[in-house]
Amino acid sequence: MNFIKFLFPFLISLALIVGLDQKWGQVPPLGKFLDPYSGFWANSENRDIGFEENPYINGLQDSVKIYYDSILVPHIYANNDHDLYMAQGYITAQNRLWQMEFQTHAAGGRISEIIGKDGLDFDRYQRRNGLLYGAEKAVKMMEEDPTIGPILEAYTEGVNEYIASLSYQDLPIEYKLLDYKPEKWTTLKSGLLLKYMANDLAGGDSDAENTQLLKMLGKERFDFLFPDRYENVDPVIPKSREWDFEAETVERPDSIEFPLVFPDNKAPQPDPQNGSNNWTVHGSKTSTGKPILANDPHLALNLPSIWYVMHLNSPSVNVFGATLPGALGVIIGFNDYVSWGVTNATRDVRDWYHITFKDKEKKEYFYNGKWLKTQKIIQEFKIRGDENFYDTIYYTHHGPIVYDEDFRPGNSKTNFALRWTAHDPSNEQLTFHLLNRAKNYNDYEKALTYYDCPAQNFAYADVHGDIALWVNGKFPLRWEEQGKFIMDGSRADMDWAGFIPREHNAYMKNPEQGYLSSANQIPVDSTYPYYHYDRGYEHYRNRRINKKLETLQNITVEDMMRLQNDNYSLLASEILPSILDSLDRNNMTEPEKTAFAALSNWNFMADQDAVAPTYFEILWDDLYRNLWDEFYGLENAVRRPELPITIEILKGNPDEKFIDNQKTDTKESITDLYQMSFKSAVDSIENWKSANQKELNWSNFKNTTVQHLARLSAFSTENIRIGGNRHIINATSGRHGPSWRMIVSMEQPIKAYGVYPGGQSGNPGSYYYDNLIESWSNGEYYELENKSNASDLNNIIFTQTLTPEAK
């Protein structure tokens, strides 16, 4: 009896302990998690800074001092480069460990290790798309580089020293919530992070869609609706540039037949909105007589932020700017002599080849009249709570077979190999290493020669007064239309003949107009001697920026801040008046009258409090959809015509057959489309009003959200009060926008300002997790000081000394 009386409470206790020490579905292990001593409570920091003040670090050569300023930007002072990069690794991990690991797991196709089998399709695509394959090659090249190799190793050690110091209590909250532990950092992870960015910025293409459209429309209609370039473009490199070199040529094969097969179940592509603005203004146009540089990269708005801001100082370098957690050095920033900023040099660098195998074994494929051998690699996927999954990937000389009958076969069930510049060995870290130390234009130009992918427009300004902009990266040398459609993988003349020589990449230095800018538009005008193609150049931000820069004189830093926050919708200004003119003003309902009045009185500023942009947003979406209804609801999603051709048709081609809506019996005119779209837009807004208890204005309507990487809404910031939109300089849409704003005036001493939608801490329990969002949305900036002397720093709130382990 006594034994049962013991056993009963004892078993309950045991069951509770065992049960609450493990994860149940989405619920974290509650015992561990709710423990006030080491559970999630231990991550509640608020304004406290929980860093260890004097951590001992194995492998440091000397002690390193770190001063944190009022927004928790670390100013790192080291006595040598080894220690500097070791400290960068340590400090970045201290603030952003979970993010570092999560992003590289994503790049490496290992998300299912954390979230289970829901992540498998994503993971398989990542591996087949070749991010791991590319990262392995890049890491080999980085490790062999005498400059990058040792500091990459030091960075890795720094991260691992931090990881080794952690007990459960110190783990970032996400590990506790998802119940797993950080693993050791490796140089490969740094490589993966760079490929993660390459995929974000250069991982999309429309070859399959183009092929489908070619089949659907025929060549003539395709060329009309999807031209390579439009009239009146304003390219990155001004039209005044003359090409003073002998271009290499590549023969277009006589008989080209694009195989009209395509992967018809493609994996999700990176957001085509990923883009950016940058500009650099010559001293002749500024109030100080010295150049000003501005940059704001547009990416998905995430928490923890993609950027971590740092000041790195050693005897060889004194650089300040935005870093990528996981990568060495500063990516966008300035030192005592130069400043630089990047935008995506939008250009197609991914081509697809239709592959014919000899048999089901896939050991050989047909190429140039012969059978070539494939390489077969079996990839293992560990799945949380499930058995391992194995995927066989075949490699051709083009690259990996991404789509076949085993992966997203679609209806075509055929094999497509991917050729992508991100698969080639490259050492982009060396570019940033040299830029961080650049003293003049020649240093900058030399640094860029090591940069391959993702291609970027590097804007430059220095204290000597030079400004420049290079459209920089490794671009395939192509015959006209090569790579626009799926190509026949058995023909040698479909392969890339080589690459455009570095020195033939488009650039400009100190132009007469006194400024240079880029905003993901077409890089050059039609006189550039090399064929270049992309599915989605931007057509509005660039023109607005250039128009402003052209008219502004005596430019100040404040002018540049205003320009970065400019909400003018050039798109609306170009189409809305003609829409409004053709609307029937009689017989309008009350809500329609209100909408009409709002739109007619609109100054085209998509400001947060404005009402008109809400009507325009839906009106334009509906109009676009009504015009191109033939392109919606197809069995396979296709791309749709770009904005310039859309507007051209609306304004100048009343007989275009697409204007007729296929769903109706009557034949619509453009005016009918306008009328229909206006009415449906007003209806949608009325519905929005009754569904939402909020005031109707632009920021409430678009609901800009900075979302946690694991999509936990509790860790995200929603409904941020900010204007802007796609195709507007302040490119803030619902989930996307300027991820870092920086302005650097190259006066003496250099004045620099920056802000980003997030915070330096990766901990949702810290005040510094999202404290910069409000300033960002208000268009406010923080001063960035790269004082080479620590004693000159202002507003230091915390100091940390990394000390070498005593022997």
Q: How far is the CB of 99 from another protein (least distance, A)?
A: 17
Q: Which one of the spans 6-14, 336-344, 420-428, 676-684 is the region binding another protein (CB under 8 A)?
A: 6-14
Question: How far is the CA of 502 from the CAs of 195, 449, 506, 627, in angstroms?
Answer: 21, 7, 9, 42
Which tokens in the block code for residue 82? 């080894």
Asked if 410 interacts with another protein (CB under 8 A), we say no
24 binds another protein (CB under 8 A): no
Q: Which C-beta is closer to another protein: that of 33 or that of 475? A: 33
Candidates 16-24, 474-482, 747-755, 786-794: pick the segment binding another protein (CB under 8 A): 16-24
**Residue 39 binds another protein (CB under 8 A):** yes
Compute the CA torsion angle 784, 785, 786, 791 (nearest 10 deg): -150
What's the distance, CA 741 to chain centroid?
Answer: 14
Least separation in angstroms between CB 13 and another protein: 4
Minimum distance, C-beta of residue 759 to another protein, in the bound complex (Å): 12
- Which of 22, 24, 34, 480 is in the footprint of another protein by CB under 8 A? 34
CB of 709 to another protein, least distance (A): 15
Does 52 bind another protein (CB under 8 A)? Our answer is no
User: Quick one: how many helices (H) and strands (E) in the chain?
Assistant: 22, 29
Q: Is 764 in the site for another protein (CB under 8 A)?
A: yes
Among residues 167 and 255, whose Cβ is nearest to another protein? 167
Residue whose CB is less far from another protein, 46 or 794: 46
Shortest distance (Å) from residue 782 CB to another protein: 22
Q: Which is nearer to another protein, 11 or 247 (CB)?
A: 11
Show the tokens assigned to 173. 């909250």
86/93 Cα distance (integer angstroms): 11
Rule CB under 8 A: is residue 51 a binding residue for another protein?
no
State which H helix or E strand residue 468 sits in.
strand 467-472
Q: Which stretch, 25-33, 312-320, 546-554, 670-678, contacts another protein (CB under 8 A)?
A: 25-33
Q: Which of 766, 777, 786, 800 binds another protein (CB under 8 A)?
A: 766
Burial label for 503, CB within 10 Å (0-12, 13-18, 19+), is exposed
Check residue 41 for interaction with another protein (CB under 8 A).
yes
Site membership for another protein, residue 634 (CB under 8 A):
no
- Using CB under 8 A as the binding rule, the residues of this chain from 155 to 174 that contact another protein are 168, 173
3-state SS, one letter per residue, for 236-289: CCCCCCCCCCCCCCCCCCCCCCCCCCCCCCCCCCCCCCCEEEEEEECHHHECCC
712 binds another protein (CB under 8 A): yes
For the CB of residue 12, give the shortest distance to another protein in the complex, in Å.
5
Structure tokens belonging to residue 801: 């000394």
Q: Which of 378, 492, 714, 806 binds another protein (CB under 8 A)?
A: 714
Taking residue 379's Cβ as centre, other Cβ atoms within 10 Å add up to 17
d(CA 524, CA 239): 7
687, 713, 788, 801: which one binds another protein (CB under 8 A): 713
Q: Which of 23, 25, 40, 312 binds another protein (CB under 8 A)?
A: 40
- Residue at 492: amino acid letter: A
Three-state secondary structure call for residue 202: helix
Structure tokens at 331: 């990516």
Per CB under 8 A, does 3 bind another protein?
A: yes
Residues present in the chain in total: 807
Residue type for position 267? A
Helix axes 148-164, 131-144, angle to 10 degrees: 110
Work out whether 9 is an interface residue with another protein (CB under 8 A).
Answer: yes
| Tally of CB atoms within 10 A around 36 | 9
Q: Which helix (H) or strand (E) holds 459?
A: strand 456-462
Residues 6+ apart with CB under 8 A from 58: 157, 161, 804, 805
Q: Is 773 in the site for another protein (CB under 8 A)?
A: no
Q: Are 72 and 761 in contact (CB under 8 A)?
A: yes
Number of residues in contact with another protein under rule CB under 8 A: 40
The residue type of 148 is I
Q: Which token pair is 107?
A: 């790049």
The stretch near another protein (CB under 8 A) out of 206-214, 294-302, 394-402, 709-717 is 709-717
Stretch of 13-21, 251-259, 272-280, 485-493 lying at the interface with another protein (CB under 8 A): 13-21
Nearer to another protein, 47 or 657 (CB): 47
Q: Which residue do the tokens 């003359």 mark?
A: 242
Find the binder of another protein among 12, 260, 597, 634 (CB under 8 A): 12
Q: CA-to-CA distance for 779 and 564, rounded, in angstroms?
A: 8
Asked if residue 263 binds another protein (CB under 8 A), the reply is no
20 scored as a contact of another protein (CB under 8 A): yes
Q: Which is nearer to another protein, 301 or 610 (CB)?
A: 301
Our finding on whether 16 is near another protein (CB under 8 A) is yes
Residue 23 engages another protein in binding (rule: CB under 8 A): no
616 burial (CB, 10 Å; 0-12 / 13-18 / 19+) is buried
Q: Does 2 bind another protein (CB under 8 A)?
A: yes
Is residue 17 within the footprint of another protein (CB under 8 A)? yes
Nearer to another protein, 9 or 146 (CB): 9
Encoding tokens for residue 207? 């070859």
List of residues contacting another protein (CB under 8 A): 2-3, 5-6, 8-10, 12-13, 16-17, 20-21, 30-32, 34-41, 43-46, 48, 168, 173, 177, 712-715, 764-767
